Homo-oligomer: A and B are copies of this chain.
Amino acid sequence: MSRTLLSTVNPPHRLLMGPGPINADPRVLRAMSSPLIGQYDPVMTDYMNQTMALYRDVFRTQNEATLLVDGTSRAGIEAALVSLIEPGDRVLVPVFGRFGLLLCEIAERCQAEVIRRDIEWGQVFTPDAIEAMLRETRPKVLALVQGDTSTTMCQPLAEIGALCHQYGALLYTDATASLGGNAFEMDAWEVDIATAGLQKCLAGPSGSSPISISPRAVEVIRQRASIEAGLRGDADAAIAVNHIRSNYFDLGMILDYWGPSRLNHHTEATSMLYGAHECARLLVEEGIEAAVDRHQLHGDAMVQGLKGLGLSLFGDLDHKMNNVVGVYIPDGVPGEAVRQTLLNDYAIEIGTSFGPLHGKIWRIGTMGYNARKDTVLTTLAVLEQVLRQARARVVAGGGVGGANEVYAQGGRG
């Protein structure tokens, strides 16, 4: 293009019913368009403190160390793992989907001794199975995804933190896809570090990663702490021997920036912080339990609607996340062509899938701002038409009918 002046962005309307990102709540976008202020302006540091307090409610924790990592959800994952793991540390990763593989990969790059345990995609691990692994392998860190969008499964975590602590391990969990739409109890479940993103049930854009860190994990991180050379006083120690192998993801430094000492690290991404603040406010205002109930209601409605159309669903439905469902592409139906028709003719996006499920299932999300009755019914109505056009056998009216039965029972919408 060289000198051509392209136009400003002007994205078309889309109803994003895939596994995320989804449409941001307009309140979040409005908050993000607020004017900037300086990073040490008292108003800004107050917003940072408010954000910490709001995310304590979202994560259901008393952890002082609850803040944002500036980057997408995988920035939060890497910050957690690189801040905990020293080269040679043993890390156990039970894998039930693509994002478990990501945890393995990031831990390997931290030079951990990674012990990977796989289960068939579409299943989750029992606490007994995880206890057996802990007993056998005695890891420093158990890294476990809560909700893996690649399979739609939600790993039960309630007993895992206590098991980890019984066997001397720390529990890290990636709650990116699940937080806000499925029960999550940081303190009651004894989770040591949890990370998330805004682009799923939190109804915001990708680009900021909420994180909460238990006092036990803070202690581990503090033993590896450094103060940047440009900020170090004479009394401060030089870089620690077992220093964290990243500056950007050094949670000790990030804590010093968010904490009372306010030691400069990065320049906080102000607009993303405004957005993250509003995402948490939406959830706290609604009530976390009410938000989870809402995701369950609309998730159930989507499930019953898809069944009502005569489609088969993927995986162990007793352990499905509330906010996303995998549905088998009917025999003979061209999966990608159907997705294109949905997008081009109806402006509705549903998801494809990764790895062993690629070409076999679609993934349909009902989360955040889009966990609503109108989005569920519209998607089912449209899907019926598009499937019929693709010569699939569908039950006329079965999608909307199935969903409406759930709404009639649930009495909400």
Q: Which residues of A contact B (CB under 8 A)?
A: 1-3, 5-6, 8-14, 16, 18, 20-24, 27, 29-39, 41, 43-44, 47, 50, 53-54, 57, 70-75, 78, 82, 98-99, 101-102, 104-106, 108-111, 150, 197, 199, 205-207, 226, 228-231, 239, 243-249, 264-272, 274-275, 277-278, 281, 284-285, 343, 349, 354-355
Chain B residues with Cβ under 8 A from A29's Cβ? 32-35, 271
A150 touches B230 (CB 8 A): yes
| Closest B residue to A200 using CB positions | B267
Chain B residues with Cβ under 8 A from A23's Cβ? 35-36
A199 to B47, CA, bound (A): 19
B10 touches A34 (CB 8 A): yes
B230 touches A269 (CB 8 A): no
A281 touches B36 (CB 8 A): no
A–B pairs, 11, beta carbons within 8 Å = A3-B57, A14-B36, A21-B38, A21-B270, A23-B36, A41-B343, A71-B269, A78-B248, A109-B246, A206-B267, A271-B275
| Closest B residue to A150 using CB positions | B230
A5 to B9, CA, bound (A): 34
Q: A230-B150, A266-B206, A277-B9 in contact; A24/B14 too (CB < 8 A)? A: no
Q: Is the interface of A mostly helix, strand, loop or mixed?
A: loop
CB contact between A102 and one of B24, B27, B199, B247 (< 8 Å): that residue: B247
Assuming A72-B267, A104-B229, what are 19 further A-B pairs, CB within 8 angstroms? A8-B30, A8-B277, A10-B34, A14-B35, A24-B36, A32-B33, A32-B271, A70-B75, A70-B206, A74-B247, A74-B265, A75-B248, A78-B248, A101-B228, A102-B230, A197-B267, A205-B271, A230-B355, A248-B249
A244 to B384, CA, bound (A): 47
B34 touches A11 (CB 8 A): yes
Chain B residues with Cβ under 8 A from A24's Cβ? 35-36, 271
| Closest B residue to A11 using CB positions | B37
Chain B residues with Cβ under 8 A from A109's Cβ? 243-247
| Closest B residue to A358 using CB positions | B231
**Residue of A22, A39, A247, A277 contacting most chain B CB atoms (<10 Å):** A247
B5 touches A47 (CB 8 A): no
B246 touches A246 (CB 8 A): yes
A13 touches B35 (CB 8 A): yes
* A179 → B minimal CB distance (Å): 15
**Residue of A24, A71, A270, A343 contacting most chain B CB atoms (<10 Å):** A71
| Closest B residue to A102 using CB positions | B230
A267 touches B78 (CB 8 A): no
A14 touches B41 (CB 8 A): yes
What 5 pairs between A and B have smallest CB-CB spacing? A207-B269, A98-B230, A101-B230, A33-B33, A205-B271
A6 touches B205 (CB 8 A): no
* A212 → B minimal CB distance (Å): 15
* A85 → B minimal CB distance (Å): 12
**Residue of A20, A102, A229, A249 contacting most chain B CB atoms (<10 Å):** A229
A284 to B269, CA, bound (A): 24
